[in-house]
C-alpha cells in the first residue's frame, strides 16, 4: 500500500500476537508494548540522515557518524500513545516530546481536543506521531492538523494496528505523512473497534476495564 510501511520484523509480529490474546494480562500487555515500541522506533528511524563529526577516541581522532539535524519530537496522542512513547524514549532519550489530548466521543466517533503541548520549534524537527491504534483515523488527523497549524511539516505516523478505513481517511487528509504500522487488520466494527484487533489499547495497558 502506497505511503504505508508494514513493519514485518518477526519479533514485532510475535509480540503483537501475544498482545492480541484476550488472556494477556495488563502487566504483560504493558511490557510487550514497551518492547515492541523500541523495535517500531528502530524501523521508523532507519532512514534518518547521518552527518560526520570529528571525535577523539582514546587512541586517535576520527570522523564518526551522528544523526543529522535537531532532536526528534515524539508526539503522543493521549492516552494510549504514551504506551508507545515510553519504549521509544528509552531508545532515543534525547527526543523532545509533544502531548496531544484527543479523545474519541464514543457516540459520534469524532475527536475532541483537550490538551496540546509541543516544543516551539517543531517546524525544524522531524515529528513522529504515535498512537497504537489507527481506527477511524479521526483523532490522528486532528492531532496532525494541530501540529501542522503550529508549523510542523516533516511528520511520520507510527501505530501498532491500522484499519483500512483509518488509513484511507488519514491519507485523504494528510497524504504527505507516511504511516508505519505492525499490521493492517480487516475492518472496523460498528463501534469503531479494529477487527480482529486487540481491544481498547488504553484499557488494556492501564487495566481500566
Q: Which residues bind ligand URA (CB under 6 A)?
A: 80, 133, 135, 192-194, 197, 200-202
Residues at the binding site are 79, 104, 131-139, 194, 199-201
Does residue 104 carry a catalytic annotation? yes
Within 10 A of 56 (CB to CB), how many other CB atoms are there?
A: 9
200 is an active site residue = yes
Kindly state the smallest distance separating residue 190's Cβ from ligand URA, in Å. 12
Catalytic annotation, pick one of 8, 17, 51, 108? 108
Shortest reach from residue 169's CB to ligand URA, in Å: 13
Residues of each annotated binding site for 5-phospho-alpha-D-ribose 1-diphosphate = 79, 104, 131-139, 200
Any idea of the CA torsion for 196, 179, 141, 152, to the nearest 10 degrees? 160
Question: Least distance from C-beta 135 to ligand URA, angstroms?
Answer: 4
Is 2 among the residues known to form the active site? no
Residue closer to ligand URA (CB basis): 119 or 197: 197
Provide, rounded to whole angstroms, the least separation between the CB of residue 6 and ligand URA: 18
CB of 87 or CB of 197, closer to ligand URA: 197
Shorter beta-carbon distance to ligand URA: residue 7 or 161: 161
Nearer to ligand URA, 77 or 88 (CB): 77
CB 18 within 8 A of CB 38: no
Grid cell, residue 173, equals 487528509
* 113-119, Cβ contacts within 8 angstroms, sequence gap of 24 or more: 113/142, 113/146, 115/78, 116/146, 118/73, 118/75, 118/147, 118/150, 118/152, 119/73
Q: Classify the phi-psi angles of 64: left when phi > 0, otherwise alpha if psi is within -120 to 50, otherwise beta.
A: beta
CB neighbours of 101 closer than 8 A, spacing ≥ 6? 78, 113, 114, 115, 116
Return the active site residues: 104, 108, 200, 203
Amino acid at each position: 500500500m502506497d505511503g504505508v510501511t508494514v513493519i514485518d520484523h518477526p519479533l514485532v509480529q510475535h509480540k503483537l500476537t501475544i498482545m492480541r490474546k484476550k488472556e494477556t494480562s495488563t502487566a504483560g500487555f504493558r511490557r510487550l508494548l514497551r518492547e515492541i515500541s523500541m523495535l517500531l522506533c528502530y524501523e521508523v528511524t532507519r532512514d534518518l540522515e547521518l552527518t560526520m563529526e570529528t571525535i577523539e577516541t582514546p587512541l586517535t581522532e576520527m570522523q564518526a557518524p551522528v544523526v543529522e539535524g535537531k532532536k526528534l519530537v515524539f508526539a503522543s496522542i493521549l492516552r494510549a500513545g504514551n504506551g508507545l512513547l515510553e519504549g521509544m524514549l528509552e531508545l532515543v532519550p534525547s527526543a523532545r516530546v509533544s502531548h496531544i489530548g484527543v479523545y474519541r466521543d464514543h457516540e459520534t466517533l469524532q475527536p475532541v481536543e483537550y490538551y496540546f503541548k509541543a516544543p516551539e520549534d517543531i517546524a525544524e524537527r522531524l515529528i513522529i506521531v504515535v498512537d497504537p491504534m489507527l481506527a477511524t483515523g479521526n483523532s490522528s488527523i486532528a492531532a496532525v492538523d494541530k501540529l501542522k497549524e503550529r508549523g510542523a511539516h516533516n511528520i511520520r505516523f507510527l501505530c501498532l494496528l491500522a484499519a483500512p478505513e483509518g488509513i484511507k481517511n488519514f491519507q485523504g487528509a494528510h497524504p504527505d505523512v507516511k504511516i508505519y504500522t505492525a499490521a493492517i487488520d480487516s475492518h472496523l466494527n460498528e463501534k469503531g473497534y479494529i477487527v480482529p484487533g486487540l481491544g481498547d489499547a488504553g484499557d488494556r495497558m492501564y487495566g481500566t476495564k
